[in-house]
Structure 1
Amino acid sequence: MSQATPEQLEAAIRELLGARSVEATICPSEAARQVGGDDWRDLMQPARDVVARLADAGEVEATQGGEVVDARTARGPIRVRTSRAAR
């Protein structure tokens, strides 16, 4: 199991979003892979938890099919983008 912290996942999410166009999205698995290496799958729920916290703070939006969803309750894959308010 990876010893990655929520802070490391948050930093990875910010870095990945910052490296892309403002309209682009990332998958939480990208941050999990960056931080967790071979153990990235163990970090999927923690990554979604970080996305939910960042969404609560108005920094990002979790989406499915282009629609904003709650990362805590969404079932299935989500994407993450910089929130429209934070652009």
Structure 2
Amino acid sequence: MLNHDSTAALPPADHQPVHLENAILAVLARAPAETLSAPEIAQVISDAGDWHTLLMPIRRAAVKLALDGRLIIYRKGKPVDPTDFRGVYRLGLPRHD
């Protein structure tokens, strides 16, 4: 399981899209076989403790990363169309097996 207290070597989590994309990928790379929710990712990359403000930027970044083929968005355990999903979702790295 991912350790949320360990933030060493994470890129800065400011709201700039590229930095946020890199931070999301870095968190997912720590446990590549796992999927994580947006709140789980936000809690890891938030340096101010107010991770709620990161939820919409994470969603936007996740859609872009999914469209680029760099991550997968899951809903109810199944990959979804990044341009058409609602509700609770999880993020994971593409599997190469």
TM-score normalised to structure 2 length: 0.70
Q: Within 5 A, what are the aligned runs for 1:36-55?
A: 37-55=48-66
For the aligned residue pairs, the C-alpha RMSD in angstroms reads 2.1
User: Which residue matches 1:74?
Assistant: 85
Cα pair 1:36 1:43 within 8 Å, conserved: no
Q: The residue matched to 1:80 in structure 2 has which SS?
A: strand
- C-alpha offsets along residues 2-56 of structure 1, whole Å, 9 cap, x if unaligned? x522223212211111111x32111122332313533321221110110010000
Q: CA deviation at 1:65?
A: 1.3
Q: The residue matched to 2:88 in structure 1 has which SS?
A: coil
Cα pair 2:67 2:82 within 8 Å, conserved: no
* Number of equivalent positions: 83
Structure 2, unaligned runs of 5 or more: 1-13
User: Which residue matches 1:27?
Assistant: 37
Q: State the alpha-carbon separation in 1 of the partners of residues 63 and 39 from structure 2.
A: 14
Quote the sequence identity (%): 29
Residue 17 of structure 2, aligned match among 6, 10, 16: 6
The AA in structure 1 aligned to 2:66 is: A
Structure 1, unaligned runs of 5 or more: none
Cα pair 1:6 1:50 within 8 Å, conserved: yes
More helix by share: 1
